[in-house]
Amino acid sequence: MCYVQDVWAEPDAQLMKFLQCKYGDVEHEHHSFVFVDGVFVGDGFALASDKLSDGRLTTMLRHANARFTCLREGDTNLIGGDLESCTQDDDTPTGTYSKNG
């Protein structure tokens, strides 16, 4: 699926404080907030396979009209070059990055 990730450099950022207040709980200080179609579904751990089945996740994403691929023909990086796949050591694709050079 294609997703947007926002990272706050400052843990005291006003938006982070708001999200922790609104969606956090007493036992855990959330560091991630997952929304699907504008609805908060939990922190990043809420997407773990023991918490959310692939079928349920797929249903949520289809209902939200999510794209299941981020790259489209003709997509380029900011300087007009090709995008390359980012992968983990086990070759699991995790996104794309801009190829410089």
Mean pLDDT to the nearest integer, 4-8 = 73
From residue 29, alpha-carbon distances to 5, 11, 14, 34 in Å are: 18, 11, 15, 14
pLDDT of residue 50: 92
pLDDT of residue 53: 92
- DSSP code per residue over 36-57: ETTEEEESGGGGSTTTS-HHHH
Split at pLDDT 50, 70, 90, the class of 59 is very high
Q: Which of 11-15, 81-85, 93-97 has the highest mean pLDDT?
A: 11-15
Letter for the amino acid at 51?
Answer: K
Q: Does 74 score more than 70 pLDDT? A: yes
